[in-house]
């Protein structure tokens, strides 16, 4: 477990800046909602456990060129969309290089990824995250693990619903696993082992519960 005195979590929310502006704007809104849910969960678990909450800093990036040097984070969380059937994340190698070079080496923070996709999690998206992991590790940084959240087309509606309701619960549970890892300062798989999870892994996939019904509900809501 890492030094808790240095716990500072920076969350970068991004979109695919090469996409149509309307699509990119929606992607960014979804990334921001996921990031805020993560920050809220960090605060909630700290209150419940009566422990000091890590400092969570949220940053929105309309393009990856906006990345700047990060001030001594214990953990860095990247939240971004994945294009359907793409085997590459929308995080450019140069952006990863800037992020890694901007990290304070003595602190050696973990980098986690939260990717969201409109479809159910697919093998190509697993490949995209594996490629991102490879790029980050090749540049000498520490990979902390990833969440792959499917059904993102419904998230703007989903995040109006109760956090632990039938629709939103699977996504919330995945976010909570990441919160656990970031609070412990451990890779996702190791943190899941630490809490006795039945199926520890470095990539956790989730999509909303009752997904077909949720899509129909959203379509009616926005008519």
Predicted local distance difference test score (pLDDT) of residue 4 = 47
Q: Which residue has the tokens 């909630």?
A: 44
How much is the pTM? 0.90
SS3 content of the chain, % helix, strand, coil (to 5): 45, 20, 35
Domain enclosing residue 45, as ranges: 4-221
Give dist(CA 136, CA 97) in Å, integer.
Answer: 8
Q: What is the CATH number of the domain that holds 21?
A: 3.40.50.360
pLDDT in tens, the chain (223 residues): 554 454 789 999 999 888 899 999 999 999 999 999 999 999 999 999 998 889 999 999 988 877 666 666 778 999 999 876 666 677 877 788 887 777 766 567 899 999 999 888 888 889 999 999 998 998 888 999 999 999 998 999 899 999 999 999 999 999 999 999 999 999 999 999 999 998 999 999 999 987 767 777 766 665 5
Predicted local distance difference test score (pLDDT) of residue 33 = 97
For the chain, how many structural domains are there in total?
A: 1
- Closest CA relative to residue 87, chosen from 128, 115, 118: 128
Phi, psi of 67, deg, nearest 5: -65, 140
Predicted local distance difference test score (pLDDT) of residue 63 = 85
Give dist(CA 169, CA 158) in Å, integer.
Answer: 10
Predicted local distance difference test score (pLDDT) of residue 102 = 75
Predicted local distance difference test score (pLDDT) of residue 214 = 73
For 95, the enclosing helix (H) or strand (E) is: helix 93-101
> Terminus-to-terminus CA distance in the chain, angstroms?
49
| Coil/strand/helix, residue 152 | helix
């Amino acid at each position: 477990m890492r030094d808790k005195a240095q716990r500072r979590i920076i969350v970068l929310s991004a979109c695919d800046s090469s996409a149509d502006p309307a699509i990119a704007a929606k992607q960014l809104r979804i990334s921001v909602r996921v990031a805020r849910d993560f920050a809220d969960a960090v605060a909630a678990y700290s209150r419940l456990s009566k422990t000091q909450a890590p400092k969570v800093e949220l940053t929105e990036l309309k393009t990856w060129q906006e990345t700047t040097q990060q001030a001594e984070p214990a953990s860095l969380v990247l939240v971004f969309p994945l294009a359907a059937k793409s085997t590459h994340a929308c995080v450019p190698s140069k952006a990863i290089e800037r992020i890694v070079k901007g990290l304070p080496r003595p602190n050696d923070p973990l980098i986690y990824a939260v990717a969201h996709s409109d479809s159910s999690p697919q093998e190509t998206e697993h490949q995209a995250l594996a490629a991102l992991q490879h790029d980050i590790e090749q540049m000498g940084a520490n990979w902390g693990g990833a969440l792959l959240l499917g059904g993102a087309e419904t998230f703007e509606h989903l995040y109006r619903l109760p956090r632990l309701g039938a629709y939103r619960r699977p996504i919330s549970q995945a976010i909570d696993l990441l919160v656990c890892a970031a609070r412990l300062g451990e890779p996702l798989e190791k943190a899941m082992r630490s809490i006795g999870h039945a199926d520890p892994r470095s990539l956790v996939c989730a999509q909303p519960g009752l997904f077909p019904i949720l899509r129909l509900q959203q379509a009616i809501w926005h008519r």
